[in-house]
């Protein structure tokens, strides 16, 4: 069987979504892989890594100057900041630096696949129209998702390449040192609470415990992004991508407690940055006792993100009808996904 060779350039390759995308693409026989990030990968891969600082225009022009083999760009890069408002400028700048440099250096570029999310619909600001549909208008509050689109739409004029946008909700997968990692937060939080002799209480708002929520498995997202980047029907389209189901934490929290062999607690709203401050010795004790990989406590979970993730006391629902109409039919059970990913963190000896 013969295949048409394609070469992917993955930006943000060491994050949850980028790592899953690389893992998926390198298992396919018709893809070659380039990846770009500021730091080297902490996992084995056949992808060739290009060191680049996306915040530096000269670094981008140098790294992406000669890429005739690249046919598909997957943009998953993200620069975290203490507040969501502060993320706009650096993330808009990174894409403004990267895309024109790649457009100039990759004459055979066919498609740009851009990773977005439900913040596109104003999900982070409070109650929003649900279920969110891709045709919903932009929220009036500025966000770098809109800046990314404006940069891409303007540059596409007169070009032959097409684009697509993936809009997942909280992405769940295996990665370390990544800010937006709900699985790492849950694993480390449960392990720490157990070590301190505490039940597994829900640390967020009471309304977040009972509201409707959704998640996106990183592997499913990788397969969806590959599909939308290669199926001609998806050209110049945006797609919501989630597991396809919904859950309430109040219903799956007992399953989390059983997994970690803990008593499930009720809601105890706390600032996890304060609760986990100065707890390095507790974590180091777990590492020594259970022979875990020696990851520093500051790296294994982001408690600022955890506070945000457990604060949405309104329904978070995206409509995935469009994905199905265009041909992507995969779905996952979110509770089963959580348990499987807990297993991955345990097998990698990140947690006891």
Q: What is the pLDDT of residues 291-308, one digit of tens each?
A: 999 999 988 999 999 999
Phi, psi of 250 (to 5 degrees): -60, -25
Specify whether the CB–CB gap between 9 and 34 falls below 8 A.
yes
Asked if pLDDT for residue 29 goes beyond 90, the answer is: yes
**Is it the case that residue 42 has pLDDT exceeding 90?**
no
The pTM assigned to this predicted structure is 0.95
Q: What is the pLDDT of residues 304-333, one digit of tens each?
A: 999 999 999 999 999 999 999 999 999 999
Q: Can you tell me the distance from the alpha carbon of 225 to that of 117, in angstroms, rounded to the nearest whole number?
A: 13
Q: Is the pLDDT reported for residue 289 higher than 50?
A: yes
Confidence (pLDDT) at 1: 42
What residue ranges define each of the domains in the chain, with the CATH number in brackets?
Answer: 6-170+216-240 (3.40.50.720), 178-214+246-316+331-347 (no CATH)
Residue tagged 């010795």 (tokens): 281
Q: What residues are labeled active site?
A: 119, 145
Q: How far apart are CA 193 and CA 201, in angstroms?
A: 9
Please name the residues in contact with 295: beta carbons below 8 A apart, sequence gap of 6 or more. Answer: 176, 287, 350
Is residue 218 within 8 A of residue 20, CB to CB? The reply is: yes
């Amino acid at each position: 069987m013969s295949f048409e060779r394609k070469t992917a350039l993955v930006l943000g390759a060491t994050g949850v979504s980028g790592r899953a995308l690389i893992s998926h693409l390198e298992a396919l026989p018709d893809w070659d892989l380039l990846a770009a990030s500021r730091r080297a990968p902490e996992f084995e891969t056949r992808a060739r890594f290009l060191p680049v600082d996306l915040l530096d225009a000269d670094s981008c022009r140098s790294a992406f100057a000669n890429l005739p083999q690249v046919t598909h760009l997957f943009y998953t890069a993200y620069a975290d900041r203490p507040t969501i408002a502060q993320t706009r400028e650096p993330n808009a700048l990174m894409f403004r630096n990267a895309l024109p440099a790649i457009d100039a250096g990759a004459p055979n570029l066919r498609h740009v696949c851009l990773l977005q999310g439900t913040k596109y619909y104003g999900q982070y600001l409070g109650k929003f129209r649900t279920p969110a549909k891709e045709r919903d208008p932009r929220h009036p509050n500025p966000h770098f998702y809109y800046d990314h689109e404006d940069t891409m739409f303007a540059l596409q004029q007169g070009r032959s390449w097409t684009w697509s946008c993936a809009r997942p909700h909280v992405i769940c997968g295996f990665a370390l040192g990544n800010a937006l990692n709900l699985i790492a937060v849950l694993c480390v939080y449960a392990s720490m609470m157990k070590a301190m002799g505490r039940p597994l209480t829900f640390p967020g708002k009471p309304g977040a415990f009972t509201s409707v929520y959704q998640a996106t498995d990183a592997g499913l997202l990788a397969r969806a992004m590959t599909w939308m980047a290669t199926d001609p029907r998806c050209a110049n389209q945006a797609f919501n991508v989630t597991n396809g189901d919904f859950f309430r934490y109040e219903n799956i929290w007992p399953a989390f407690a059983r997994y970690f062999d803990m008593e499930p607690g009720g809601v105890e709203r706390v600032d996890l940055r304060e609760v986990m401050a100065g707890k390095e010795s507790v974590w180091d004790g777990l590492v020594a006792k259970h022979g875990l990989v020696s990851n520093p406590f500051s790296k294994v979970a982001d408690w600022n993100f955890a506070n945000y993730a457990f604060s949405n006391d309104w329904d978070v629902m995206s409509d995935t009808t469009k994905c199905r109409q265009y041909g992507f039919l995969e779905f996952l059970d979110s509770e089963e996904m959580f348990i499987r990913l807990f297993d991955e963190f345990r097998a990698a000896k990140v947690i006891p």
